[in-house]
Chains A and B, each alone.
Chain A
Amino acid sequence: MKPAPKPTPETQPFWDGTAAGELRIQRCKPCARHYFYPRPSCPRCGGDEVEWVRASGRATLYSYVINHRPAPGFEDEAPYAIAVVELEEGVRMMTNLVGVPNTPEHLELDMELQVVFERRGDVSVPLFEPAGGAR
């Protein structure tokens, strides 16, 4: 079994979003900036005038490693990429890459990606595949 996240009160809206097939992130109204990971105040101004918005799901590949010694639950996938993507809204998150061979030749930094969701127990986690669908 792959590890599944366990939501906490401040992150519950994020995980409610993934369950509904949406990538939801937070935005500070006065700063007009998005941020991630979920937390109750804006990391730029410290204010709590923040809201949840739906991200487009479009992203680019910021960096990654290809892990050859699998974590529990990932035995069938090694070697697999552990990636950090940059959302169109400017925030970054860790993820896995699907729909593309996880090799250096196929994973070019800054390639365009889009979000998909994978069910893990009671929650869904956001993963990313090449924009335009799996190939």
Chain B
Amino acid sequence: MSTPVSGLPLRVVRRLAVFLVSVLVASVLVFWVGSALPGNVAQVVLGVQATPDAVARLQHDFGLDRPWPVRYLFWLGGLLHGDLGRSYLTGEPVLSQVVPRLEVTGWLVGLAMLLAVLLAVPAGMWAAVRRRHADGFAVSALSQVGLAVPGFWLGILASLVFAVRLGWLPANGYLPLADGIGGWAAHMVLPVVSLALVQASVLARYVRSATIEVLREDYYRTARAGGWRTVPALLRHGLRNVALPVVTVIGLQLATLLAGAIIIESVFALPGLGRLLLDAVAQRDLMVVQGIVLLLVVAVLAINALVDLSYALLDPRLRSEGRDRG
């Protein structure tokens, strides 16, 4: 007979197993889809004037003439040693190409997510509490509009207004944080805000409906009847219940956010993972493509695993359910 506390480690182990199997399946899919892409890197390297002989020779040098399952096994062997292979185009290890780009994309996605949560939680709650009033309705309407606006369009608009017209911020490019916070922040503001606003709109709608649920709950009405005012009652009793659906949505939205980051990086000429991925796809540098896609897939799977586990922390009922099944 396990206690509620021992239910949690079991849940962690089970979730970890699911995570590892998913990563393995994903790696096969990523590699297979990559190798099914028409066009080849040897032709791109050699250019339009290359002879078919030279292309075939380079294909052989790259090992691309071997069947994909064989290449996959070599790749997997490397992965187990933390080696993502080498770029066909530059000969550089994929990992050393990816790491500097991770800084850019990591900041971009992380800050955008943070800003989105900071904007969406109060806005969504406001829209719920004031849903029968004009201001609450306005917040809802605004989030609807935000949903419909593509992030890249917002990005182009923001750079036209704040960089070109007003000259307050650089239109594009990136300075590493190590070179000083001022320049780094100046380059991050527009991309982060463009990415965050769309995300905040999505989140705000979930926060709003989750809050409305809470407002209808008995415990909330009891608290109100006991003399609590709206906001303290919500913060004290509602936040935890609002958090659950919101955390789920954040986890699900991460993949969209990464996709949005690829486009935003292009709009603001940020040297992030997304741009590296786009270039590598165009040039059929499959090692780089596969390496990045696998990293992104692992990131999304890991976040989803963490979201699952966070349920247990947020809601004790789910924790004991885990124990019962275990």
Q: Do A and B bind each other?
A: no
Give the B-binding residues of A (Cβ under 8 A).
none
Give the A-binding residues of B (Cβ under 8 A).
none
